[in-house]
Amino acid sequence: MSAIEGHRIPTIPRGVRLHEDKVRGMWVLLAPERTITLDPIGLAILTALDGQRSFEDVVTGLAAQYDAPVDQVRADVADFVTGLADRRILELV
Amino acid sequence: MPSTAPAPPIAMLAELTYRCPLSCPYCSNPVEMARKESELETATWIDVFEQAARLGVLQLHLSGGEPASRRDLVTLVAGARKAGLYTNLITSAIGLTQRRLAELDAAGLDHIQLSLQGTDADMADRIGGYQGGFARKMQAAEWIVEAGFPLTLNAVVHRQNLHQLPEAIDLAVALKARRMEVAIVQFHGWAMLNRGAMMPTRAQADEATRIVAQARKRLKGVMVIDYVPADYHSDYPKRCMGGWGSTGLNVTPDGLVLPCHAAQTIPSLEFENVHDVPLADIWYNGAAFNAYRGEDWMQAPCKTCDRRTKDFGGCRCQAMAIAGDAAATDPVCIKSPLHAKMTALAHEFAEGDTPELVYRKSP
pLDDT at A42: 95
- Whether B111 contacts B61, CB under 8 Å: no
- Whether B34 contacts B253, CB under 8 Å: yes
Rounded to an integer, what distance in angstroms lies between the CA atom of residue B313 and that of residue B96? 40
pLDDT one-digit tens code per residue, B277-322: 999 999 999 999 999 998 999 999 999 999 999 999 999 999 999 9
pLDDT at B241: 83
pLDDT category at B160 given cuts 50, 70, 90 is: very high
Q: Kindly state the average pLDDT of the residues B325-353.
A: 92
Taking one residue from A and the other from B, the number of pairs with CB-CB distance under 8 angstroms is 56
pLDDT one-digit tens code per residue, A12-40: 999 999 999 999 999 999 999 999 999 99
CB atoms within 10 A of CB B50: 17
Interface list for chain A against chain B, based on CB atoms closer than 8 Å: 13-17, 19, 21, 23-24, 28, 30, 32-33, 35, 85-88
User: How does DSSP classify residue B194?
Assistant: G
Q: For A89, name the nearest residue in chain B, comparing CA atoms only.
A: B178
Identify all chain A residues contacting B179, using CB atoms and an 8 Å cutoff. Answer: 32-33, 88
- Whether B172 contacts B219, CB under 8 Å: no
pLDDT at B3: 56
**pTM, whole model, 2 decimals?**
0.94
Closest CA to A2 of A63, A77, A53, A61: A77
pLDDT at B291: 96
User: How does DSSP classify residue B154?
Assistant: E
N- to C-terminal Cα separation, chain B:
36
pLDDT category at A1 given cuts 50, 70, 90 is: very low
Residue B19 has pLDDT above 80, yes or no: yes
Question: Using alpha carbons only, how large is chain A's radius of gyration in Å?
Answer: 13
H/E run at residue B257: strand B257-258
> Which of A23, A32, A87 is facing B56, going by the closest CB pair?
A23
One-letter identity of residue B247: T
Q: How far is the CA of B115 from the CAs of B17, B91, B152, B249, B302, in angstroms?
A: 17, 6, 9, 22, 35
Residue A2 has pLDDT above 80, yes or no: no
Angle at the Cα of B210 from the Cα atoms of B204 and B214, rounded to 5 degrees: 145
Which residues contact residue A71 at a Cβ distance below 8 angstroms, ignoring those fewer than 6 apart? none
Which residues contact residue A80 at a Cβ distance below 8 angstroms, ignoring those fewer than 6 apart? A41, A42, A45
Inter-chain contact B150–A86, Cβ cutoff 8 Å?
A: no
Suggest the residue from A16, A21, A33 to mutate for an interface test with chain B (most B CBs closer than 10 A).
Answer: A33
> Which of B10, B110, B111 is facing A35, going by the closest CB pair?
B10
* For chain A, counts of helices (H) and of strands (E): 3, 5
Q: What per-residue string of b and e applies to B302-333 under the rule 16 or more CB within 10 Å gives b? A: beebebbeebbbbbbbbbbbbbeebbbbbbbb
Q: Kindly state the average pLDDT of the residues B260-265.
A: 92
Identify all chain A residues contacting B88, using CB atoms and an 8 Å cutoff. Answer: 32-33
Least trusted range by pLDDT, from A55-64, B125-134, B190-199, B233-242: B233-242
Suggest the residue from B13, B224, B225 to mutate for an interface test with chain A (most A CBs closer than 10 A).
Answer: B224
If you average pLDDT over every residue of chain B, what do you get? 94
User: How does DSSP classify residue B357?
Assistant: P
Q: How far is the CA of B257 from the CAs of B1, B48, B363, in angstroms?
A: 18, 11, 20
Residue B71 CA to its chain's centroid (Å): 23
Suggest the residue from A11, A24, A88 to mutate for an interface test with chain B (most B CBs closer than 10 A).
Answer: A88
Inter-chain contact B150–A85, Cβ cutoff 8 Å?
A: no
Q: Is the peptide bond before B25 cis (omega within 30 degrees of 0)?
A: no
Rounded to an integer, what distance in angstroms lies between the CA atom of residue B86 and that of residue B107? 12
Whether the CA torsion B319, B320, B322, B327 is positive or negative: it is positive
> Which of B148, B152, B224 is facing A87, going by the closest CB pair?
B224
Residue A91 pairs in a beta bridge with A11
pLDDT at B269: 96
